[in-house]
Structure 1
Amino acid sequence: MHYRLALALALTWLCLACAGCSTLSPKDSAEATRILAEGKSTALTCEREDHCAIENRLSRAADSAIASSTAEAPKHAVWIVESGQEALHSRVSMIRAAQHSIDLQTYIFDEDDSARMIMRELIAAAKRGVKVRILIDQLSAFKSARTQVAVAGAHQNLDLKIYNPLFERGSLSNPLQYALASIAQFRTLNQRMHTKLLIVDDKLGLTGGRNYQDDYFDWSPSFNFLDRDILVAGPVVRRMSETFNVFWHSSRAKAMPELKDAVSLLQTQGVPKLSDAAYEFPDRVRAFQAASADVAALDDMYARMEIDTGDVQFIADLPAKHRRGPSAVRKQDPFSSELSQVIASTQSEIILQTPYLVLTNAAQRSFVALQDRAEPPRVIVSSNSLASTDNMLTYGMAYKYRRRYMRRLGFEMFELKPHPASVAFDVVAARSEKDSHVAIHAKSIVVDRTIAVVGTHNFDPRSQHYNTEAAVIVRDPKVAERVAHNMLRMMQPDNAWTIAPNRKALRKVDEAVLSGTEALPILDLWPSRYGTSYQFVPGPACPAPVSFKSPDFQKCYRLVGDFPEVNVVSLRWWLTRVITAMGAVTMPFL
């Protein structure tokens, strides 16, 4: 019996390996191209020159900014988009305002309610006559190749490409294919397109942490991300468009006739019909669509959020990053160089927010340089707790190096609670279950309350070495203050625990032990990590939170342990301990 099972597994593995190595013939690709083109709808729902675009505050602000800009004095309008519902409305408003073109680039495009609604908006725009291009990383491009082909064949004005596909397939359909990829194409498997862009008519552009999935828009009943986008109107959007075009025309971006599973499906079934299945929560979608049709109300919201500013900078990795291994990534690479310069420019304060506090060696050196100054700036860091995080592996590494972050890098760290009391999260929209929780997914930096960076970069080794990333840098105190306010709100005592050194006696033991064991890649077994979690306790002598460096800290804060709200008998608790002790070898890929 065991022999037969082993033989079956071996044969399955061999079949997958052979499928991965076979090539797509020009004849099959040409036939698939013909079938796809013939299957696309050509019907239009609008004959107007503006393709029935719905003018709104965003499009008017873009026209005004471009009209008043010069090369020496560019003008922009900026919106910092915090809540999931604002983020969803912003995307729908942008799509409906499109007159000529829509370019969408993302890491994840799911098939849940929010993703299907956005896809239907994009197809509706194509039917109006707008040219729509969609580029998705292979690892999370819908649920199946069937959906990919259905989307690509929906209309002649819509094109879809898949980025960096493994085994020339649009979709990996089973775990064995991932296992084979980890052996046969390990480098390609790790080189992912994490860039997220939505560009309309070369005048409105949006980037940030959000993918196209319910979790990012307050629509998941069990778990949601607290994220951040930046929407920009003005001349810098042309730079975003140029970046998208480089990706779109890259040899790593593949259309359906270049993908084996898509070609096979087209040859056997033609262009499949796009699913018209009912939404999971149809009443919620109807309520959202009714609100999205109220242009005046949304214009009022955008007016309150809008900040007029001058120079705005867009930085992004390009597909060329994937021609090099991690050892070839140099300090002078434009993206990392710009971030390093922003950090180095800090005079008094830097606020950093990231879901995964696992810093590259280069990033650590940047912060060490700040601390080595005669008067080092304050460094405030917001991230996830073990109770809130969606990634125990990265949290285990952040926990391992807690002493280094606090003592050598000068970090004042705050970890988000899983059930924060006052953050930008719509419980009603989420249809939240009793045990639902949230986690930080935003990636932002604010320097001296004058410079704001919002984008996709997690400031971790994976973002530095493997993924392509994008960000917007705005040098404007109004924008920086808005982003700082939102980040600091997540660090308030009702939303986050404060990380501070252990009591004095244990702290001294930690210092002595960890100075030797912390550098070990494995067998770092010491159970305490120098710093632990505290909860602020207000009172007459403690009217407001203070830094852990304040002499009043101990009397104003209550010790709550290393992993508050995580049961010591839970798998999460024990896996994190194992990861901290044994997982440092995974650091380059986190």
Structure 2
Amino acid sequence: MVKPVLRWTFIAALVLALLSVLALWSWGRFAASAQGEPSSALSAAPAVTRLDRLVAPMLAQHAPEASGAALVHDGVQAFVARARSARAAERSLDVQYYIWRHDMTGKLLEHELMAAAERGVRVRLLIDDMNVGGLDDALRAMDSHPNVEVRLFNPARNRSSTVMRAVEMGLRFIGFNRRMHNKAWIADNRVALVGGRNVGDEYFDASADTNFQDADLLLLGAAVGETSGHFDRFWNSAAVVPLGALHTAPPRWSLDDFSQHRQQWLADAAASPWIKALAGRDDLDEKLRGDDLPIHWSPSIHVVSDPPEKASAVRARRDPAGWLLYDVMTLLFSARQESWVISPYFVPGDGGALMLSGQARRGVQVRVLTNSLVANDVPLVHAGYRGYRETLLRHGVQLYELRPGEAKTDRELLGSSGASLHTKAFVVDGQRGFVGSFNFDPRSAQLNTEMGVVFDHPGLAAEVKQLFDQGARPAAAWKVQWDDSQGALRWTGAEGERVWHHEPESSAGLRLLVWAMSFLPLESQL
């Protein structure tokens, strides 16, 4: 009885493996034949567009290699910065995201991209295909405009059937599991926004449920050219396919249909704070001059990114020497006095835990802010993180876990009463730092492509440290401690509040689920 079962199991596994290899081979041939025409960022000029005329005088006051960076952490402000820069653009908009939701803020930014295209602006929109399901009608309508091209990173060929898409994802798991996690918004090759935000209501404080606390850097100068260079490398890579190559039938929505949808979206959102913020005085000039948003200038500000080949299903095409991981680890290894880490998904692995523990043992102040179980939108990640807490705490690392709602500011309360950490940032010795898309976990290190900004500037570092302090204060986060007398963890908040001896505010069922998931051999995928 056992032998037939083993035989059929072996045959099934062999067939599945052959189908997987065939699916990978077939997709590779298709992607090679469907490559779009290469293109590159349109060069900035001294005084051709409004953004040229605004930015060029500021650049003239600094060395050619210098860049300006302003921290943008307010959700509404982040939305307005994207929309206003799109309205100011007269030459090009290059936009790259892991997630683009077709919700209120996503629709409004789709409208801004289309409005720019209708003014003659060239728009290149690059989105990872993992979360594009259901968006094809809107994206195809945009793609049908002569000034817009939409491309997808590592897309599924099956666009109409959810079941077939899932089957393809399963058969191509080795390749499909590797995603483009980059986030960039570039206007006229003069202004860029790079950071941790995707496009969607929860990233701009517009969700009725839970909003993400996040951060971008608004960039001027040499760093914008670096951002455009990274964008071009992805846009022209073998992993990217034009949306039009994935469809044979005409789009369901014509440009006229899409225009009507856009007008309805504007009407539906007319009373929202996001439309009202755009309806006010256009203060983009003041913001870019630093009147309203502190801009820090330094030649040390650089945009770094993984190469698109990191996401290749073929191991021989992946060259780890060029990965962002090494920029991040170089930064963290340089700590002598303090190392502060903000990471919503924190799974340090044995190597990361050893590095942070070793630093703490040698007198470096190591502080980590991450999500609590009830604030984490991915419980499986918390299952991977929970086992490292005791080791880190015993060696002197300070751990803080964000509460699900108390950390909201007045502006953030526009959307919901829930909060989840999404900022990815590090600060070392109060001087050097990183803001971007890189989580301190195996997925960011080994699977997904990531990007961000590294800097060596005390003023910018101080602002990022302030973000940490804001998130780690007792009203916003629980401090996790090791209780030697009990041989267990405890969570403390503000003075007089309850001391927790299990994951705060979590149900027994959720704690049991996370405990069970912690035994799954999936850490490399987290």
Tell me whether the two structures share a fold, i.e. TM-score over 0.5. yes
Q: Which amino acid aligns with 1:356?
A: Y
Q: Tell me which moved more, 144-153 or 86-95.
A: 144-153
CA contact (8 A) 1:456 1:469 kept: yes
1:164 aligns with 2:154: yes
Asked if 1:152 corresponds to 2:143, the answer is yes
Aligned sequence identity (%): 26
8 A Cα contact 2:401 2:477, kept in partner: yes
SS at match of 2:57: helix
State the secondary structure of the residue aligned to 1:94. Answer: helix
Structure 1: gaps (5+ residues): 1-12, 34-48, 508-529, 539-556
The equivalent residue for 1:97 is 88
How many Å apart are 1:488 and its aligned residue? 1.0
Alignment of 1:201-212 (within 5 A): 201-212=188-199
For residues 326 and 29 of structure 2, what CA distance do their matches in structure 1 show? 43
Where 1:363 maps in the other structure, the secondary structure is helix
From 280, 284, 292, the counterpart of 1:294: 280
Cα distance in structure 2, aligned partners of 1:300 and 1:142: 39
* Corresponding position of 1:443: 424
- Which residue does 1:181 correspond to in 2? 169
SS at match of 2:385: helix
Answer yes or no: is the 8 Å Cα contact 1:317–1:469 preserved in 2: yes
Distance in structure 1 (CA, Å) of the matches to 2:251 and 2:506: 52
Q: 2:486 aligns with which of 477, 482, 506?
A: 506
Is 1:489 equivalent to 2:466 in the alignment? no
- The alpha carbon displacement at 1:282 in A equals 2.4
The code of the aligned residue for 1:266 comes to P
Cα distance, 1:162 vs. partner? 0.7
Matches within 5 A, 1:498-577: 498-502=479-483, 504-507=484-487, 530-537=488-495, 558-568=498-508, 571-577=509-515
In structure 2, the CA distance between the partners of 1:177 and 1:253, relative to structure 1 (3 Å rule), is same
CA gap of 1:448–1:425, structure 2 versus 1, over 3 A, is farther
- Partner of 2:109: helix, strand, or coil? helix
Q: String of CA shifts for 1:108-149, please: whole Å, max 9, x gaps.
A: 111111000001000100111111100001112262432332
Q: CA deviation at 1:81?
A: 0.7
Per-residue deviation, 1:335:
1.4
Measured in 1, the distance between the counterparts of 2:365 and 2:252 equals 62
Query: Aligned equivalents of 2:147 and 2:436: distance in 1?
Result: 29
Other structure's SS at 1:238 match: helix
- More displaced stretch, 269-278 vs 465-474: 269-278
- Which residue of structure 1 aligns with residue 403 of structure 2? 417
Shift of 1:65: 3.9
> Aligned partners of 1:78 and 1:121: how far apart in 2?
24
Q: Secondary structure at the match of 1:490?
A: helix
Matched to 1:587, the amino acid is E
The 5 A counterparts of 1:165-314 are: 165-166=155-156, 168-169=157-158, 171=159, 173-175=161-163, 177-182=165-170, 184-259=171-246, 262-263=247-248, 265-266=249-250, 273-274=257-258, 276=261, 278-279=264-265, 282-283=268-269, 287-297=273-283, 299=285, 303-311=291-299, 312-314=301-303
Residue 40 (structure 1) aligns with = none
List per-residue Cα deviations over 1:431-468 (Å, max 9, x = no partner). x3xxx411001100011111121000012111111110
- 1:262-312 Cα distance to aligned partner (Å, 9 max, x none): 22x328998894370734982556653343243455555662322231111
Aligned length: 492
- Cα separation, partners in 2 of 1:145 and 1:406, compared to 1, 3 Å: same
2:113 to 122, 142, 147: 122
Amino acid at match of 2:402: L
1:105-120 equivalence runs, <5 A? 105-120=96-111
> 2:59 corresponds to which residue?
66
Partner SS, residue 373 of structure 2: coil
User: In the TM superposition, what whole-angstrom CA distance separates every residue of 1:373-414 from its partner, at most 9, and x where no partner exists?
Assistant: 3xx201111111111110100112211221122224x32011
| Structure 2 partner of 1:547 | none
Aligned to 2:304: 315
Q: Is the 8 A contact 1:102 1:132 kept in 2?
A: yes
Contact 2:104 2:269 (C-alpha < 8 Å) held by counterparts? no
- Tell me if structure 1 keeps the 8 A contact 2:424–2:438: yes
User: Aligned letter for 1:366?
Assistant: M
Structure 2 unmatched ranges of 5 or more: 1-15, 37-45
1:588 aligns with 2:505: no
Q: Distance in 2 between matches of 1:298 and 1:287?
A: 17
Contact 2:54/2:285 (<8 A) preserved: no
Q: Which amino acid aligns with 1:560?
A: W
SS in 2 for 1:306: coil
Q: 1:341 deviation in Å?
A: 1.2
1:522 corresponds in structure 2 to: none
2:333 is the alignment partner of 1:344: yes
**Given that residues 371 and 377 in structure 1 are in contact (C-alpha distance below 8 angstroms), is that contact kept between their aligned partners in structure 2?**
yes
CA distance in 2, matches of 1:472, 1:424: 28
Cα deviation per residue 1:348-389 (whole Å; 9 max; x = unaligned)? Answer: 11111111111244433432442453xx20111111111111
Q: 2:342 aligns with which of 349, 353, 364?
A: 353
For 1:381, the equivalent position in structure 2 comes to 368
Partner SS for 2:142:
helix
The 1:21/1:240 distance shift into structure 2, 3 A limit, reads closer
**Who wins on radius of gyration, i.e. which is larger?**
1
Shift, 1:75, TM fit = 3.0
Deviations 1:545-583 (A, max 9, x none): xxxxxxxxxxxx852232211232xx4232112123x23
Does the aligned pair in 1 maintain the 2:137–2:253 contact within 8 Å?
A: no
Q: CA deviation at 1:212?
A: 1.0
Letter of the 1:465 counterpart: Q
Helix, strand or coil for the counterpart of 2:105?
Answer: helix
Aligned residue runs from structure 1 range 9-20, under 5 A: none
Corresponding residue of 2:460: 479
